[in-house]
Amino acid sequence: MKNVLAYLGIIVVIIGVVILMFSVITDSIRNTMLLTSAILIIAGFILHIIFNKEVI
């Protein structure tokens, strides 16, 4: 379970990037798709930092 949590942030970032790529490739750039992908990318970065933080 700990291994999955270590990669959860990266997986969320990749999902956000795929949504962003899909909106650009299909030329249907809408605010909802851009906002969704931005939220997923930012949340993925935060999750990655939180789950991979080492307590000293």
pLDDT in tens, the chain (56 residues): 777 778 899 999 999 999 999 999 998 888 999 999 999 999 999 999 998 886 43
- Other CB atoms within a 10 A radius of the CB of residue 55 amount to 3
Integer CA distances (angstroms), 46 to 21, 23, 53, in order: 21, 24, 11
* Burial readout 18-42 (b: 16 or more C-beta within 10 A, e: otherwise): ebbeebeeeeeeeeebeebbeebbe
The DSSP code for 1 is: -
Record the pTM.
0.84
Per-residue confidence (pLDDT) for residue 42, from 0 to 100: 97
Per-residue confidence (pLDDT) for residue 3, from 0 to 100: 75
